[in-house]
Amino acid sequence: LFCHSYGSVVCGLAADTLPGRVSDIAVAGSPGMRAENASHLDTSARVWAMRDADDWIQDVPYLEVGGLGHGADPVSAGFGARVLSARDAQGHSGYFVPGTDSLRNFAGIGVGAYRTVACAGEDDTCRAGLSEATAAGRA
């Protein structure tokens, strides 16, 4: 399930009702998912998050007070998502532009080629615990 911008709020709210065949939720440019952390989404799906360094959404306050706001920042370490690179996305509307890490990452997740995704930063933490095998052909 791919979720961009405020669509990630909807994905966060719907996460606990998703069918079991949804194995991944990937958010890009998210203002929050209405959760304090990924485990509060109450889903068995892996949660991935990415944000371009120039995305204005990073200036939205990541909090929820009295029912207002959208919760924690999905790319923050405390949220617990697998944080992906969004290199070359160039702001909020560039996540699906050909040649960007973000589009390659969406494609890799979509076909279950998890070992091909590019993590944020210099390490491979976002791929920790994932097998080399893909989940191609899953329903």
In tens, the pLDDT along 71-101 reads 899 999 999 999 999 999 999 999 999 999 9
DSSP E strands: which ranges in 30-100? 46-50, 64-65, 68-69, 82-83
Q: Which of 79, 88, 91, 102 is nearest to 26 (CA)?
A: 102
Q: Which residues of 96-120 are buried (b: 16+ CB within 10 A; e: fewer)?
A: eeeebbbbbbbebbeebbbeebbbb
Task: Give the global pTM.
Answer: 0.90
Residue 10 inside a domain? The answer is yes
Local structure of residue 83 (DSSP, 8 states): E
Query: Hunting for tokens 């279950």 — which residue is that?
Result: 112
Number of domains the chain contains: 1
- The rounded distance, in Å, linking the Cα atoms of 27 and 102 is 10
Residue 32 inside a domain? The answer is yes
Position 54 scores a pLDDT of 95
Residue 135 inside a domain? The answer is no
Q: Which of 47, 123, 55 is nearest to 86 (CA)?
A: 55
Residue 11 inside a domain? The answer is yes
Residue 96 inside a domain? The answer is yes
Residue 133 inside a domain? The answer is no
Residue 48 inside a domain? The answer is yes
| Domain enclosing residue 24, as ranges | 2-127
Residue 77 inside a domain? The answer is yes
With bands split at pLDDT 50, 70 and 90, how would you rate the model's confidence at 136?
very low
